[in-house]
Structure 1
Amino acid sequence: MRYKDYYKILGVERSATQDEIKRAYRKLARKYHPDVSKEPDAEERFKEVNEAHEVLQDPEKRAAYDRLGANWKAGQDFTPPPGWDTGFEFRGGGFSGSEFSDFFESLFGHGSPFGDTFQQHRGRGGFRMRGEDRRAKIRIRLEDAFHGGERAIRLETPQVDAHGHVTLRPHTLKVRIPAGINAGQQIRLAGKGAPGQGGGPAGDLYLEVEFEPHTLYTVDGRDIYLDLPITPWEAALGARVAVPTLGGAVEMKIPAGARSGQKLRLKGRGLPGQPPGDQYAVLQIVTPPADNAKAKKFYEDMARTMPFNPRRHLEG
């Protein structure tokens, strides 16, 4: 997938105001409209111009696109970086379809804050109208998902200032994290969306949860995985070792003859739920270095005493 420089397509600076973007779009749309243009690539250029305008004319899409940074060059191989859209508060909804490029779809299509529209409940009388639902992606610690509790979440809302530039308005919300919430699930904050019109109720704010990368654990559904280093003698003879879990350290039995890569289960030690997940300790046998004369002699004695060929099954 290739990166698209929407500012270059419209021929404007990254600092352009929303009015400057609008004027540039109108000029290029007239130039490349397939019904009137004599340019050989008019149809393709017209699609590019429309796509660039769709992003840059919308303060929310433009703010998110700008977060990717100015160092990308048009035509470079591109993959959206993890968490690129985390922390923005969006209206939700947007365009998705074959008229837009794969680059656009990867940022603003289905699954992004722009690709899903929450149902709007509108009043039936006068101008009373319910406010729009809004949404944001947030990252929380795995410990917060395990224990639950209240934490402060900082969001940024894109808006246009008095000079026509897109700015970010930061604000902080106190959010109660349910114990056992999983990545991809949403927290609904009733009445925290856009205000209603004509006395209508405010919309809701939906927070889609992602987990911050953890130094010890990885997550698969409600199950937790931990790489557990053990010594060769613990693997050969068996042992009891302390294993960290999200709920505190527990003692685990390593069976004699354990293998590197073997998974041992701690039932119910994953994320809470009905039923709760498990934690799996993935054994990693770590060999002490032969970095002194005594250690080298120990390995030499072991090689003589315990002749062993782990590659026998590879011999023809």
Structure 2
Amino acid sequence: MEYKDYYKILGVSREAKPDEIKAAYRKLARKYHPDVSKEPDAETRFKEVNEAHEVLKDPEKRAQYDALGSGWQSGDHVRPPPGGGARGRAEGFSQEEADQFSDFFSSLFGMGGMGGARAGRSSGVGGAGMHADPFAGRGSDQNARIRLSLEEAYKGGTRQLRLEVPDIDAQGQVTRRTKTLNVRIPAGITEGQQIRLAGQGGAGFGGGAQAGDLFLEVAFEPHPIFRAEGKDIHLTLPIAPWEAARGASVPVPTLGGTLSLKIPAGSQSGQRLRLKGRGLPGKPAGDALVQLEIRNPPADSAEAQAAFEAMAEHFTSFNPRATLGV
């Protein structure tokens, strides 16, 4: 029988560790798989890669193979070990798997007598002899980011999205391709949450292989007046000094529309009022948290300046910095 250098076929050293062997195999299996490869000898090379991996991934088979010695070259004639190896290891292989093995493999691992066994198996297309492609691999999951306005997060809806995603071309190389998707935005989604799009990730390889998933991480665009923390929406609300002093009902914007907010008499800047359930929707919904900010009118006329002077004369004992000890 002609010797096959399985290490050379996979492009690894004889001291290669299992993870190196696995990585080399996966790379070559993608490159030469008949479903995707344009190489003229793809089918032959694919069978060789399959066979080499079958031996080197299994510690027992690898040890038996290594026992032949390291001085052989591919194509050298070698004598099979006495008894043709452990025939029991040939059990359990399907028709399609058995057809991948060379005479060298069969002689070394006890499959030399499988010709008759193969003939006795069903090989009709669509019958019991059909098996899934053993080298089909699920595509990788992909991650991307989608930027939403707070209004989109509040209302939900559909967004068309164009993404550049990694892909494997027919030569097994990583490329980029543009994908257009219609993405459903759930109402009440929060920043950092993910939207899963099943089957929209990396393409699988091999016949009937499943594609991976695409996970879109939500990020919010800056908003001119609102800020989100989880499902709560924060807002700074400017009020006049007399509204703060005497109390008032003032309009306040929310994502769901304008509401009337009651300002308690004696309110101060920095004071926070809560509008229950007026944040992002959900179970439970978030709240709208309104922080008050007292703003003075401009003193841009004689009348306005006179009004401020009257206030100063009236509140002579008021020290706005008393809490600072000055």
TM-score by length of structure 2 reads 0.54
- 2:266 corresponds to 1:257: yes
Shift in CA distance, 202/170, structure 1 to aligned 2, threshold 3 Å = closer
Partner residue in 1 for 2:202 = 194
- Evaluate the alpha carbon distance shift between residue 298 and residue 168 of structure 1 in structure 2; reply closer, same or farther with a 3 A threshold: farther
**Corresponding position of 1:310:** 320
In the superposition, relative to structure 1, how do residues 167 and 243 fare at CA in structure 2: closer, same or farther (>3 Å)?
Answer: farther
**2:232 is the counterpart of 1:223:** yes
- Where 2:269 maps in the other structure, the secondary structure is coil
| Partner of residue 157 from structure 1, selected from 157, 161, 165 | 165
Q: Is the 8 A contact 2:153 2:190 kept in 1?
A: yes
Distance apart, 1:203 and its partner CA: 1.0
Is 1:239 paired with 2:248?
Answer: yes
Does residue 288 in structure 1 map to residue 297 in structure 2?
Answer: yes
Structure 2 CA distance, aligned partners of 1:310 and 1:149?
Answer: 49
Q: Distance in 2 between matches of 1:293 and 1:151?
A: 55
The one-letter amino acid of 1:142's match is: L
| Structure index of larger Rg | 2
- AA paired with 2:229? D
Question: Which residue does 1:129 correspond to in 2?
Answer: 137
- Tell me how far 1:172 sits from its aligned partner: 2.6
What amino acid sits opposite 1:220 in the alignment? Answer: E
**CA distance in structure 1 between the partners assigned to 2:201 and 2:167 by the alignment:** 15
User: Does 152-161 or 234-243 show the bigger shift?
Assistant: 152-161
User: Does 2:189 match 1:181?
Assistant: yes
- The unaligned stretches of length 5 or more in structure 2 are 1-130
Change (3 A) 1:259 1:221: same
**Aligned AA for 2:320?**
P
1:171 Cα shift? 3.5
Query: How far does residue 306 in structure 1 lie from its aligned partner after superposition?
Result: 2.5
State the Cα deviation string for residues 73-122 of structure 1 (Å, max 9, x = none).
xxxxxxxxxxxxxxxxxxxxxxxxxxxxxxxxxxxxxxxxxxxxxxxxxx
**Sequence identity of aligned pairs in percent?**
58
Summarize deviations over 1:216-249 as a string: whole Å, max 9, x none: 1111111110000000010001111111111111
Aligned to 1:273: 282
Deviation, structure 1 residue 253: 0.3
Letter in 2 for 1:303: A
Change (3 A) 1:167 1:213: farther
Question: Which residue identity does 1:178 align to in structure 2?
Answer: P
- Whether the 8 Å contact between 2:168 and 2:203 is mirrored in structure 1 is no
Instruction: Name the CA distance, whole Å, in 1 between partners of 2:287 and 2:161.
Output: 28
5+ unaligned residues in a row in structure 1: which ranges?
1-122
Partner SS for 2:257: coil
- CA positional deviation for 1:154: 2.6
TM-score between the two structures when normalised by the length of structure 1 = 0.56
TM-superposed deviation, 1:304: 1.0
Count of aligned residue pairs for this structure pair:
190
**Equivalent residue letter for 1:212:** E
1:116-173 CA distance string (max 9 Å, x none): xxxxxxx985222211111101111111111111111232336899xxxx99644331
Q: Relative to structure 2, which stretch is displaced further, 192-201 or 255-264?
A: 192-201
Aligned-partner SS, 2:152: helix
Separation of aligned partners in 1, 2:230 and 2:283: 13
Flag the 1:250–1:179 CA change in 2: closer, same or farther, 3 A. Answer: same
Among 161, 180, 183, the alignment partner of 1:172 is 180
Shift in Å, 1:183: 1.0
Q: 1:30-179, aligned counterparts within 5 Å?
A: 125-157=133-165, 169-179=177-187
Letter aligned with residue 183 of structure 2: V
| Map of 2:21 onto structure 1 | none
DSSP 3-state at the match of 2:218: strand
1:315, CA displacement in angstroms? 4.1
**2: distance between equivalents of 1:140 and 1:315?**
46
* Shift in alpha-carbon separation, 1:168–1:202, aligned structure 2, 3 A: closer
Rounded Cα–Cα distance in structure 1 between residues aligned with 2:175 and 2:211: 23
Instruction: Supply the distance in 2 between the matched residues of 1:298 and 1:158 (Cα, whole angstroms).
Output: 68
TM-superposed CA distance for 1:311, in Å, is 2.2
Q: Secondary structure at the match of 2:210?
A: coil
1:297 to 302, 306, 316: 306
Q: Distance in 2 between matches of 1:184 and 1:313?
A: 40
